Structures are given as C-alpha cells and as structure tokens.
C-alpha cells in the first residue's frame, strides 16, 4: 500500500505548549495506522548537522506527552542549514550546510521529515522542498498566531490563557491601589495575544502593532475613567506595538540568530511616558517567556492531535511540500511555498476589534467610521 518505513520528526523555532502533544499524535498515528517507525531529530535542523543526533520515538516514550509543555526533542531558532551562522574569530560567517542535512537523512534511512515550527522553520522547510526535493510535511506552531494560511496555530490559546490570568491578577491590585497597570505580551509584529487576552480580561486599553497609538489618546482614556469614578486602568500592550510616527522598541539584537531582532521594553517606555501625565501611579509587568511554558489548554491539546495525525496522513498520501492548516474548522493542506514571506496579522477593521471598541476598549487611536 505504501513504501514508507521511517519518518523523522523535528521541532524548530521558539518553544510553546503543545509541541510534545503533536509529537505524540504523529508517533501514535504513524505506528498504529501505518506501521511506520518514527525517529526524533534533536534540536531542530542542528540534529541533522552535528552528529546526526536523534532518538527513537515509540509508543512508550511518547506516553504522557499530551499534558507536557515544551518539546522532548529540543529546539533552536538559530540553525538555518542554508545560512548556518558560525563564529570565525570575531566575525559571523554563513555556510550552506544543506547537503550535510541531506546526507544525514540518507544515512538515517529516513523517508522524509515532519517539521513542526513557525514561519521561520516553514521557510527553511520550503527551501528543502524547492531546492533539494526533500519529502516533508509541515505543522504550524507559534504562540504569536501569525502564520499565514491557517486560522489558528497551536500554543496560541495556551498563551492567551496565561496572559488572561495575569491580567485578572493585575486587576485586583490595580483596583486596590488605584494604579495604572501595564502588561506586556509577546507576539512580535502581530497583536493576537494582546488583543485576545486584553479582551478576555476586560483590559481598558489594548495596544497592538496593527494600530499605531498616541500617548494623548491613552491619557484621555485614563482621565475619562477617573472622571467616571474608576480610579484604576489596565493596559495590555503587545511587544511590537509602536506609537504613531514612532518605532518599535528593540530589547536586543542576537547576531547569530535567524531572527536577530528581539522586541521588548514597550511597557517600561509607556509607563515612563504616562507617569508624569496622569495622577495615578503607573506600574508595568513583562510576562515574557511564561507565555511559552506550562501545560497546554484542552483546546490546544485537541488541535495538536488533529494537526499531528493529519500530518501523518498527508505524508502517507504523498502531499509533500505542504503544511497542515486549520480552515473553517477543518484540517486541510496548503503548499508551504504559499506562506513564504507572509504573516497573518490582526485586521484593524475586524469584528473582534469592533466588539472591543463597542465595549469601551481604547486602542490608543481614533476609530474609523
């Protein structure tokens, strides 16, 4: 029926809740439905460059992964085999080690790879498909929810729940001390986490990259609330948000990374801008990598299982060079090349944004008519 004996599985990019659940689904489906052996590649594509470095994935050692955060395979967002960055003295040089990867895949007798990762990892996968004809299927992963072509990525809902819980806790201390409390979420250039967590927790101001804000508009919102007798304000701000005619705040640059620019610091900057313009004391909290960790929500566990099994079916059906995606609540496959260079961002005119505005949420800007 099929001539597939062994599939490699790797996780790339930043970690998030649900990676292990996808690994589990892939292994269980491959073994029970098709009798296919699975081999886990350690530390993303690095495991096919150095070593190679792998572990067998069996029914036994994937037991319990449904509830476990992170990835037992390890991950990295630095290793693009086509532009592998290494230090040569004080200089960073790039080497094309894609042939090393292909040679190790052949050495391991892999029929191909199931690649679990975000947009950066999918870009690497597309290069292997286009340039090397590597048989592969992609699974979209990111807490940022910004991969084009799929309506949701696993890990996003868990991150939203964590951020929502954090804002719920900030609500109580903000009310007790009549403070302006600012929470900074992750998301890079997409505002999905801030939007959903802010809306779910009743934040008064939500700032996202897709809608430039002004300090004047935020101050006006805080003053309006004080006039109405509400002496505390909650602001949820995405790390990529920026003021109108301003720039995003960069926390640091990682020279040897495929994504060297790391955003962060907007909450502190905003706090400093507001503290001399409002009567309330301002405090900020940066949630950071807490959003990536922990036990995945029930929703994410189900989505992971659907993605993982669908990836195996796609591989067996020889739908190579494609990524599984959620569309209209069904799992479908789309060519990975279609998502290259694209991002799924929040539509400023979406129904969700309108609903937020209709309940009094300020986005630090004037709403469009």
CB-based contact 156:193 (threshold 8 Å) = yes
Nearest to 120 by CA among 62, 184, 65, 77: 77
Q: Alpha helix locations (H) across the chain?
A: 19-29, 98-107, 119-132, 156-177, 192-201, 215-227, 266-274, 298-316, 351-358
DSSP 60: T
Q: Which residues are catalytic?
A: 144
Helix (H) or strand (E) holding 233: strand 233-238
Measured CA to CA, the distance from residue 36 to residue 42 in angstroms comes to 19
CB-based contact 233:174 (threshold 8 Å) = yes
Measured CA to CA, the distance from residue 79 to residue 13 in angstroms comes to 9
Nearest to 198 by CA among 7, 355, 369, 43: 355
């Amino acid at each position: 029926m099929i001539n597939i004996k062994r599939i490699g599985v790797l996780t790339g990019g930043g970690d998030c809740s649900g990676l292990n659940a996808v690994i589990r689904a892939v292994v269980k489906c491959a073994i029970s439905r098709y009798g296919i052996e699975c081999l886990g590649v350690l530390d993303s594509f690095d495991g096919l460059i150095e070593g190679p470095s792998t572990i067998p994935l069996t029914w036994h050692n994937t037991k319990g992964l449904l509830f476990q955060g992170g990835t037992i395979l390890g991950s990295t967002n630095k290793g693009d085999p086509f532009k592998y960055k290494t230090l040569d003295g004080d200089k960073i040089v790039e080497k094309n080690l894609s042939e090393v990867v292909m040679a190790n895949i052949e050495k391991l007798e892999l029929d191909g790879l199931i690649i679990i990762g975000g947009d950066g990892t999918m870009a690497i996968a597309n290069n292997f498909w286009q340039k090397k004809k590597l048989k592969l299927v992609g699974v979209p992963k990111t807490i940022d929810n910004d991969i084009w072509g799929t309506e949701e990525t696993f890990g996003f809902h868990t991150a939203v729940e964590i951020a929502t819980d954090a804002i719920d806790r900030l609500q109580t201390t903000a009310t007790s001390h009549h403070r302006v409390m600012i929470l900074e979420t992750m998301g890079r250039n997409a505002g999905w986490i801030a939007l959903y967590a802010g809306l779910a927790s009743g934040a008064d101001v939500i700032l996202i990259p897709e809608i430039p804000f002004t300090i004047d508009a935020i101050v006006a919102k805080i003053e309006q609330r004080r006039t109405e007798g509400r002496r505390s304000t909650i602001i949820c701000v995405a790390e990529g948000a920026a003021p109108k005619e301003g720039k995003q705040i960069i926390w640091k640059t990682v020279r040897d990374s495929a994504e060297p620019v790391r955003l962060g610091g907007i909450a502190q900057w905003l706090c400093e801008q507001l503290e001399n313009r409002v009567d309330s004391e301002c405090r900020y909290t940066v949630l950071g990598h807490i959003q990536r960790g922990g036990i995945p929500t029930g929703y994410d566990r189900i989505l992971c299982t659907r993605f993982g099994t669908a990836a195996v079916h796609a591989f067996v059906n020889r739908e190579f060079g494609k990524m599984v995606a959620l569309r209209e609540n069904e799992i479908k496959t789309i060519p990975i090349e279609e998502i290259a260079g694209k991002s799924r961002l929040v539509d400023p005119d979406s129904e969700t944004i309108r609903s937020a505005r209709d309940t009094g949420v300020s986005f630090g800007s004037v709403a469009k008519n």
